[in-house]
Chain A
Amino acid sequence: MYKKTLHQLIDLINKKEITGREIHKSVLDRIDLKDKDINAYTTVFREYEEYGKDGILKGIPIAIKDNMHIKGKRTTCSSKILENFVPEFNATVIEELEKESASFMGKTNMDEFAMGSSTETSYFGVTKNPWDTTKIPGGSSGGSAAAVACGEAIAALGSDTGGSIRQPAALCGVVGMKPTYGRVSRYGLVAFASSLDQIGPITKDVEDAAILMNIISKKDEKDSTSVNIKREDFTQYLNQNIKGMKIGVYDKVLKDCSEGVAKSMENSMDILKNLGCKLENVDLPSVQYCVSDYYIIAPAEASSNLSRYDGVKYGFRADGYDDLMDMYIKTRTEGFGDEVKRRIMLGTYVLSSGYYDAYYLKAQKLRSLLKKDFNSAFAKYDCIISPTTPTEAFGIGEKAGNPLQMYLSDIFTIPANLTSIPAISIPNGISNNGLPTGLQIMANAFREDNIFKCASAFEKEFNIIDKLPMN
């Protein structure tokens, strides 16, 4: 049962062949069998909880990245500083899932405060890639992606600040979508970089992504950046003929990709051509600077957002301090891991007096330029495609000592966050080394319709759902 997609299970429940409780049991058994190796969860909900039966999700359990609040269950952000934090309220996405009768499977492991591309910075240990347990699953939503890929979850939510949904989805062979900034409420999502963070689904196929997107996309007065836009039924865009669709190929990057990634990409272009799409190479001149741009803006926002962890209001407080200042410093020094410290300090530096114009202001101007590049491209194309990642999943520990190399692994996913546009990663091949690769499809802001049309048509021609590591 754990192998099935969300939409298959919804159908089976509608036919009264199974129940949500039975699905929870099946997934729980799978977790008990696999999670000692994979470590996808920080907390598993062993008791089945029901929030009605009449909604779309019919009591099917969803896994939630451990930076979104479920009332009464701990939210750790995979950090020592929040190890015992139990929220008193639900994130808006959790409220929306409950309204549609979701149940919850547990909280999934992540890079500490979502800062990382490998899930290695978690206080609770690395999550392993179920395709090859010597490899990282990607990150920061590595727990959600690994769980969905190996049947430890039917479907999951992740969050994406610079690729944290799409990159692990690509490296684990599943579907991951970052919606347009403002499409989904961030209320109850622990803030990392508020102008970039967005919640989205990680699922086995495109239809499941559309189902979850239908539920979580909503204007929310508790998040003033959520946008008042008509709710769409994204499932209407599935299984359509995409003949004539205009697709820009960001091909300049292919020379920097691994052989396997480049081969999958070439194959994907052939598939889209055969579907009748018009493919053209597109130049996005400012994209080459996006890693610099991102690693100024995101740490700057993080340094401000994470100033709230001071040992006073919630979370960990260190022992053995002399006075208030000493308590702050000891609490933060003992509570945060190295990568979080590095980003807080980088952010503090780029915002500090004398450096603001040289870094932060320049980065915000570059962000405008990036947006212009994409605006002109989307005047010509319905979608832009690229590989999701430059390589397949890399080895555990391989990049852990070199932050810059780790940051460069986000190079294809970052532009969508900086420009607010939606993007999906869908599986587009399995390399000779046995690891999956991902195709990224981007569209203009609030044009998820084009993404769903393209992704669904592609998936009908090519998918790896029968090859997921489910045994």
Chain B
Amino acid sequence: MITEEKIEQIAKLAMLKVEKNDIEKFQAQFNEILDYMKEMDNLDLSNEDAAFHINELQNIFREDEIKESLSNEEALSNAPDGFDGFFKVPKVI
């Protein structure tokens, strides 16, 4: 069972804030979903390897060549705030 505190803790890890009156709703939904997932406990997966990549590709290497890419101006064109070719963020320290 997921508690209200757990919901708040997950939200914090995910850089989200869940409003007080939504916590209960999320809690109920999470518990329903995780409860459904208990069906997987019926499976014996001890002999299975984890399929982190389903097409079984090996490392894809390429030469480290300089190619045409976005200009500084283009890369910053969607930034909410920028200055002198940099992203601008609120004071950190």
Contacts and interface: CB of A to CB of B under 8 A. Distances in A.
A, B in one complex: yes
Nearest to B22: A338
Interface stretch (A40-48, A93-101, A105-113, A357-365): A357-365
Chain B interface secondary structure, helix, strand, loop or mixed? loop
Interface string B48-73: 11111111010010100000001000
A371 B18 CA distance: 37
Interface residues of A, number: 69
B49 to A, nearest CB: 6
B54 A195 contact: yes
Nearest to B78: A314
A398 B14 CA distance: 29
B90 A324 contact: yes
Contacts of B1: none
Contact of B14 (A327, A348, A364): A348
A296 B40 CA distance: 11
B13 A445 contact: no
B14 A303 contact: yes
A340 to B, nearest CB: 10
B21 interface: no
Interface in A288-326: 288-289, 291-293, 295-296, 303, 307, 310-317, 321, 323-326
B54 A371 contact: yes
Interface string B69-92: 010001101111100000101111
A382 B52 CA distance: 26
Question: Interface extent on B, as a size class?
Answer: 35 or more
A224 B40 contact: no
B43 A366 contact: yes
A404 interface: yes
A359 B39 CA distance: 12
B39 A324 contact: no
9 contacts: A88-B77, A89-B70, A221-B62, A289-B40, A292-B36, A295-B33, A328-B15, A345-B26, A368-B51
Interface of A: 84-86, 88-89, 181-182, 195, 221, 224-225, 227, 286, 288-289, 291-293, 295-296, 303, 307, 310-317, 321, 323-330, 332-333, 336, 338, 341-342, 344-346, 348-349, 352, 359, 361-369, 371, 403-404, 407, 418-420, 445
